Structures are given as C-alpha cells and as structure tokens.
Amino acid sequence: MALKIRLARGGAKKRPFYRIVVADVRSPRDGRFVEKVGSYNPMLPKDNADRVVLDAERIQHWLSHGAKPSDRVLRFLDAAGLMTREARNNPNKAEPGQKAKERLAEKLQAAEDAAAAAAEAASAGAEAPAEEASAE
C-alpha cells in the first residue's frame, strides 16, 4: 500500500481548514485516511503558532514506513526541520509559450512592414515635388 502524507480539506465555503493526514494514494482527497498527523489553518496569520500543527513523532514514524509527503506538506516539514526540501529552479517558467512567440513574431513583422511602407511613401512623396519643380 503506497502511502502519502497530504492535506484533506475541511471547513466552510471560502473558509478552508486542512487536516494533514496519512492516506493511501488511491483514496479521495477528503476521503478515508489512515491517521491524522496535524492540521493547517490558512485563515490564521503566518506568525501564529496554531497555523500549522504537526505531530512530529507520528510523521517520523510514517516517513520511516515509506510515506511520501506532498509538496505543500514537504514545505511544512522543512519549516519544522523534519525534512529538507530541495529548492526548485525552472528558468523557463517566465518564457512565453510557442503560440505566444509566434504571435509576437507576426506583430513585429507587421510593424516592420508598416514602417517600411511609411518610409517608402515618405520618400516617394519627397521625390514628387522635386520632379514638378524640375518640369517647370
């Protein structure tokens, strides 16, 4: 049985409260779990001690039995000093997608074409009065 230490949502609409539970990976998010090992209340201020409550002894027990924490729970465990979380680095995160790059290239090409057409019209317009003056 593959175990996961994860959050199970509770509370009212727009007033979330989470239990930190050990559950089978196949069970639903708010469904059956093996054991409750803590709680998380995001409505409390970040410096409040009751915002994240962990039962460190039981979490260590389940980690030794092969339970894997979810990313959010791993953040809590890292803050509590129970595990270390590797820093993630995604340098391409802010880069636009392929379609956005294509749209930008089309927009730049259209702007260059318009600038070239305007320059051509301006130069053609400047030559026309010079030709009229020479014809007289």
pLDDT tens for 26-73 read 999 999 999 999 999 999 999 999 999 999 999 999 999 999 999 999
Ordered by start, the domain boundaries in the chain are 3-80, 95-136
CATH topology of domain 3-80: S16 Ribosomal Protein; Chain: A; (3.30.1320)
The pTM of the full predicted model, rounded to 2 decimals, is 0.65
Which secondary-structure segment (H or E) carries 56?
helix 56-64
pLDDT for 35:
94
Distances (CA, A) of 130 to 48, 95, 118, 119, 136: 80, 50, 19, 17, 10
User: Which residue type occupies 20?
Assistant: I
The conformation of residue 12, written as its DSSP 8-state character, comes to E
